[in-house]
Structures are given as structure tokens and as C-alpha cells.
Homo-oligomer: A and B are copies of this chain.
């Protein structure tokens, strides 16, 4: 569980769709942003997605989640205004094309924004564009300003960035940054890194703001227990032929265990029936795979109260604090879990007692008694 709601059923149902919409989408994009940021290995990633985002609010939510996930800034002015996210951008191809030559366009841009020049160099010919940027960069320097850098938006980014770096360095612009964009995602960035690039910063749009390769997180909101008239919680379970769609019963909490500052496993358990002895978790996809977490002394409950009896009891962190927390939390997981190809699976499972109660509820609901022959046969 990411979130637990306790309340009268009609109230709990009223918030269902809103919670799912907000939590599913923003978790999805924050996760994608964390992946892209990991791929960039400390270099800044700017979120560039609004033009292709799913609705205007979809774009603003995406900018917010991308920032929390680790992006350094957004090109979405509205997100900057509404949420205070740092805003970054460059000039557009259309501005370059307005002028008779690229050089004239760069000169006009530099005159208008002398302290904010990232020249988009690929409108006609990328390397000629770099040379034009250098020429205008020299003029800027004479005026007492420095260009920030250039932006590549098409072509072979690995090769072009190395050639552009040579040209910039030879011309005395070793500090000028090279920003790359063009349908980037964590896989392309990782591949470019592997090829050796001179790129310093990354503009990531469509594939981040829409989480292109998996555009929906299939989170659900399920009833797991009802309180009887005597105040006791009663388990509830929804069956399904698809095992992943069978729900988990109980009043659920998640405990994360640590060893030497590294997260080693998460146990989903029932607060009403915490284990008396050992903390053993069962893999939900293979019940014979189990892990005993008892030897790890350090642990933490992941669900914390936000509202109690309708009043907020939580101090909402700033976006910057949320972003910092993401980056810190990612450090708790070893690299094998975070790699993009064939990652190691982080152990997260049902606490053994809960697993057993779930199994017997399923068997009972299907007319079997756990451990006994099917009731149909025993009659």
C-alpha cells in the first residue's frame, strides 16, 4: 500500500478516483524522472514536456512530479509560476527562421538576452550553427557577457557534441555548456554516456512528461477490511482468476528494513496482527521464495498519518525538500536494483502470517478448506 484511507465507506469512495488519478500519474512521472536523472549521472535534466503532455494540467502535474523525481528545472512557465519550480529554456527554431540568416537571429537573441544565451544550433547545419554561436559569443564577451552554451536538437548527438566541444574549446569557450534534446529518455542518455559525449545537460520532454514507454501506473484502490459493529476489523478479499488482481486483506502497513544504511526488504503486514516472532516475507509471485528480515535491527514504518479525523496532522514538505528526499532515498538502494537492463528485484512481500491468512481466505472463498481436500469432495 502507498496510501491507506480509513473512514465511512461513502467518504472513502468519494476520494477514490481523485486519489488514484493524482497518485498514479505523479508516481509514474516521478519514477521516470528518477530514472532519467540516474542516467544523467549528476548532470542536470530539464523537463521539456508541456507540448506533448496529456492536457495542460497533465503538463503542470508532470513538471511537479519530474522535479520531485530529480529534474533540475522545467520549460513549463505555468509550473514555474504556480509551483515555484526553476524555469529554463532556449530559443526556438521559429525564432531562428524569422531572420534571413542564423547569424542575424543569434545576434538579435544575444542583444535581447545577453545573460541567458543558449544558442539552438541545428536549424540549418549544426556545426555551422556552433560557429555562428561562437561568433556571437565573442561579441557578447566584448560587451562583458558570457554565453551559457549551445543546444543540439537533432542528428548524431554523441558525435556532434564532441565536434561542438572541440570548436568551442578551440575558440576559448571551454565553459560553454552543451545541452542536448530530441526524444531523449533514460535509455538514450545511458547509451550516449556509454559512447562518450561532451553533453553537459539534458532536455527531456515527451518521453518524460507522458512516461512514454509505460504511460499509466496501474495502481488500484481496494477495500481490505471493514469494522464490525463490535469495533473489530474483519478481513475482506477480492478474488480474481488473475492472481495479481486478488487483493490483500487487513489493516495494512509497510515496514522497511535496513542494514548499514541500505534498504534490504519491505514487509507488508497487518497492524492488527503483527508477527509475534520473526519477520519473514513471502514473494507475492512465488510463495516458496521467502526472506527472513529479523536479523536487521533497523526498520521504519513507511505509512505515516497525513489526516486524522479530517484534520491535517502532517507538515507538508516543500517541493525542494521532496526532491532532496527522493535523491536521498535513492541512495538507500544498491545499484543493481537501479540499473535499467535486467535489474535485481528488491525484496518486498507479504509478512508470512498475513500471507497465510490471505491464502486461507482465498481457499475458503473458493470452497476449499486450507490443508483439507476440497469441500465438494469431502461431502
The residue that A17 contacts in the complex, of B16, B51, B57, with Cβ under 8 A, is: B51
User: Which B residues lie within 8 Å of A221 (CB)?
Assistant: 51, 94
Are the C-beta atoms of A52 and B122 separated by less than 8 Å? Answer: no
Of all chain B residues, the one with the shortest Cβ separation from A211 is B215
Are the C-beta atoms of A216 and B222 separated by less than 8 Å? Answer: no
Are the C-beta atoms of A62 and B54 separated by less than 8 Å? Answer: yes
Q: Which of A173-181, A236-244, A343-351 contacts B (4 or more CB under 8 A)?
A: A236-244
Are the C-beta atoms of A21 and B9 separated by less than 8 Å? Answer: no
The residue that A123 contacts in the complex, of B56, B60, B218, B238, with Cβ under 8 A, is: B238
The 8 A CB mask of A193-225 against B (1 = contact, 0 = none) is: 000000000000011001110011110011100
Q: How far is the CB of A94 from chain B (nearest CB, A)?
A: 4
The residue that A53 contacts in the complex, of B21, B52, B56, B245, with Cβ under 8 A, is: B21
Of all chain B residues, the one with the shortest Cβ separation from A12 is B94
User: Which B residues lie within 8 Å of A95 (CB)?
Assistant: 9, 13
User: With A and B bound together, what is the CA distance between A18 and B18 in angstroms?
Assistant: 25
Q: How far is the CB of A262 from chain B (nearest CB, A)?
A: 33
User: With A and B bound together, what is the CA distance between A218 and B182 in angstroms?
Assistant: 11
Of all chain B residues, the one with the shortest Cβ separation from A18 is B56
Are the C-beta atoms of B241 and A154 separated by less than 8 Å? Answer: yes
The 8 A CB mask of A355-367 against B (1 = contact, 0 = none) is: 0000000000110
A282 within 8 A of B: no
Q: How far is the CB of A221 from chain B (nearest CB, A)?
A: 8
**A124 and B239 contact, Cβ closer than 8 Å, known pairs A13-B92, A95-B9, A206-B218:** yes
Are the C-beta atoms of B58 and A55 separated by less than 8 Å? Answer: yes
A24 within 8 A of B: yes
A316 within 8 A of B: no
The 8 A CB mask of A33-53 against B (1 = contact, 0 = none) is: 000000000000000001111
Question: Could you write out 29 A-B pairs with CB less than 8 Å apart?
Answer: A9-B94, A9-B98, A13-B92, A13-B95, A16-B94, A20-B51, A21-B52, A25-B55, A52-B218, A54-B55, A54-B61, A54-B210, A54-B215, A55-B57, A57-B57, A93-B223, A93-B238, A94-B221, A94-B222, A97-B223, A124-B239, A124-B365, A125-B239, A125-B366, A154-B240, A154-B241, A154-B242, A154-B245, A155-B241
Known contacts A58-B61, A97-B238, A124-B238, then 13 further A-B pairs from the complex at CB < 8 Å, ordered by chain A residue: A9-B98, A18-B56, A25-B55, A53-B58, A55-B61, A57-B58, A98-B223, A123-B238, A123-B239, A124-B365, A155-B240, A206-B218, A211-B215
Going nearest first, the 5 A-B pairs with the smallest beta carbon separation are A57-B57, A58-B58, A54-B54, A215-B215, A55-B58
A interface with B by C-beta (< 8 Å): 9, 12-13, 16-18, 20-22, 24-25, 50-62, 92-95, 97-98, 122-125, 154-156, 206-207, 210-212, 215-218, 221-223, 226, 236-242, 245, 365-366
